[in-house]
């Protein structure tokens, strides 16, 4: 397929912050954008040239998107795969429905990892009560995860005994699940790759991540953040996973680094990722520009990181401090705007708010990336920013 050049319209299913940042990147490069999302006030819909306000599986809405857009992508993995297949009859869709559907099912995802020669934690599928007594004892203690449509720690329960496993499966609604052996975790990391239609592939450096309550809190990227051998293995593993899918688009692969230094894959996201938002401010090409390039069939250039970076995820909790300025409890229904002016006075501070009109606890409202001449400067500034915002310090494990 020949390249789709600026002036054309690029479509995205999903109107959240990832769709918004994709739209910004596409528009900066001269494209028009079209968003399909059921939320009339979606962040991406508010900044796009076209907003199709309909469900993801609405045939008429999909036809309108195909009529507007010259190529179509997605900003989240839980879009119905049949909708992507439906669109692909008329327009290029990247990533393809087949890759997205694998990412929607933990068991298929793990089978794919194994088939690509990438290690993951020992696991067993559970979709019937009769299988629980047959689970190997060495998988306990473990984590029971629903097989489909989980993210940000949702659908996960820790279990230590077979009795706890049976109870957890009941609480999960007796849906298909995967039991993963609980591994001795040292830290987490991720790798973002972009693969073109012609098989060309580029990647960003491995990123060190810290999660709190199952949600990404901090990402740090600089040459010393991960041992070179671990970073190289993570990058090669992510590339193998993308190649195994014949993937076209931006793909994030998340890993666990164990106490003995071994690397095991956790999961993949067939889209740009929260852990890659730092690329907007610390690289000459961001993950969202690469999403545009892979969708439009443009050449891929190897991203260059020009500054050490540390990214803080900003949840809606920041709008609900426990105490007001005189030390009195503040009501949960009284959001207070965080101290943005003070934060933006810090050198190297880059604030990104996602245009969500209602802050809620646990809701991703934005992110703050700190860049600087060296990582010590970056960490010092990030600690100060975190203190201003009321985020936990220290910012690492």
Asked whether this chain's domains 9-93 and 122-181 adopt the same fold, the reply is: no
Q: If you compute the radius of gyration of the chain from its CA atoms, what whole number of angstroms results?
A: 21
pLDDT above 90 coverage of the chain, percent? 90
CATH no., domain 185-389: 3.30.470.20
On the CB side of 373, CA atoms within 13 Å amount to 1
Residue 364, annotated as binding a ligand: no
Q: How confident is the model at residue 326 (pLDDT cuts 50, 70, 90)?
A: very low
For the stretch 310-319, pLDDT in tens is 999 999 999 9
Whether the predicted pLDDT of 4 surpasses 50? yes
Is 145 assigned a ligand-binding role in the annotation? yes
- Rounded mean pLDDT of 63-67? 98
Measure CA of the first residue to CA of the last residue in the chain; give whole Å: 47
Tell me: is residue 155 an annotated ligand-binding position: yes
0.75 cut: is pTM over it? yes
266 is annotated as contributing to ligand binding: yes
- So what's the pLDDT on residue 250? 98
CATH 3.30.1490.20 fits domain 122-181: yes
The 10s digit of each residue's pLDDT in 169-200 is: 999 999 999 999 999 999 999 999 999 999 99
Return phi, psi of residue 326, to 5°. Answer: -105, 10
Domain ranges of the chain: 9-93, 122-181, 185-389
C-alpha 156/C-alpha 144 separation (Å) is 6
154 is in an annotated binding site: yes
- Tens digits of residue pLDDT in 354-370: 999 899 999 999 999 99
CATH architecture of 9-93: 3-Layer(aba) Sandwich (3.40)
What is d(CA 171, CA 155) in angstroms, rounded to the nearest whole number?
Answer: 10
Has residue 325 got a pLDDT over 50?
no
Q: Tokens representing 285?
A: 């090409």
Across 10-19, 208-217, 366-375, least confident range: 208-217
Are the C-beta atoms of 270 and 360 separated by less than 8 Å? no
Q: Is residue 397 pLDDT above 90, yes or no?
A: no
211 annotated binding-site participant: yes
* 156 has binding-site annotation: yes
User: Does 153 count as an annotated binding residue?
Assistant: yes
Residues 6 or more apart whose Cβ sits within 8 Å of residue 52 = 34, 35, 36, 37, 61, 64, 65, 68
- Cα separation, 290 vs 277, whole angstroms: 12
Reported residue count of the chain is: 397
pLDDT band at 152 (very low <50, low <70, confident <90, very high): low
Query: Is 213 marked within a binding site?
Result: no
Is residue 330 annotated as involved in ligand binding? no
What is the residue-averaged pLDDT of the chain? Answer: 94
106 marked ligand binding residue: yes
Which are the contacts of 292, defined by CB distance < 8 A and separation ≥ 6? 10, 22, 25, 26, 29, 31, 298
Contact, 130 vs 114, CB < 8 A?
Answer: no
* pLDDT tens per residue, range 228-249: 999 999 999 999 999 999 999 9
């Amino acid at each position: 397929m020949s390249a789709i050049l600026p002036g054309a319209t690029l479509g995205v299913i999903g109107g959240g912050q990832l769709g918004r940042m994709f739209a910004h990147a596409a528009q900066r490069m001269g494209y028009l954008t079209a968003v399909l999302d059921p939320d009339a006030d979606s962040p991406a819909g508010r900044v796009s040239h076209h907003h199709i306000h309909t469900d993801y599986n609405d045939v008429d809405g999909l036809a309108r998107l195909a009529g507007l857009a010259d190529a179509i992508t997605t900003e989240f993995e839980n879009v119905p795969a049949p909708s992507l297949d439906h669109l692909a009859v008329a327009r290029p869709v990247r990533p393809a429905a087949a890759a997205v559907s694998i990412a929607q099912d933990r068991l298929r995802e793990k089978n794919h990892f194994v088939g690509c020669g990438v290690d993951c934690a020992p696991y067993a599928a559970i979709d019937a009560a009769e299988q629980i007594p047959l689970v190997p004892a060495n998988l306990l203690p473990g984590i029971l995860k629903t097989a489909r449509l989980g993210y940000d720690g949702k659908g996960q329960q820790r279990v230590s005994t077979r009795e706890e496993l049976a109870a957890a499966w009941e609480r999960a609604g007796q849906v298909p699940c995967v039991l993963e052996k609980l591994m001795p975790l040292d830290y987490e990391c991720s790798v973002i790759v972009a693969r073109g239609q012609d098989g060309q592939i580029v990647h960003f450096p491995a990123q060190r991540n810290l999660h709190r309550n199952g949600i990404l809190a901090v990402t740090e990227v600089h040459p010393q953040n991960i041992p070179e051998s671990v970073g190289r293995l993570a990058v090669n593993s992510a590339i193998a996973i993308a190649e195994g899918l014949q993937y076209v688009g931006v793909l994030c692969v998340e890993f666990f680094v164990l106490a003995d230094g071994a690397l095991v894959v956790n999961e993949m996201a067939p889209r740009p990722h929260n852990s890659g938002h730092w690329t907007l401010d610390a690289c000459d090409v961001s993950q969202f520009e690469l999403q545009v390039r892979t969708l439009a069939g443009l050449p891929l250039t190897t991203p260059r990181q020009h500054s050490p970076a540390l990214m803080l995820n900003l949840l809606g909790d920041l709008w609900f401090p426990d105490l007001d300025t005189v030390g009195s409890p503040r009501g949960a229904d009284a959001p207070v705007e965080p101290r943005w002016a003070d934060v933006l006075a810090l050198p190297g501070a880059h604030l990104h708010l996602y245009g969500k009109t209602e802050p809620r606890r646990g809701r991703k409202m934005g992110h703050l990336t700190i860049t600087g001449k060296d990582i010590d400067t970056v960490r010092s500034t990030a600690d100060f920013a975190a203190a201003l915002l009321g985020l936990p310090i220290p910012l690492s494990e």
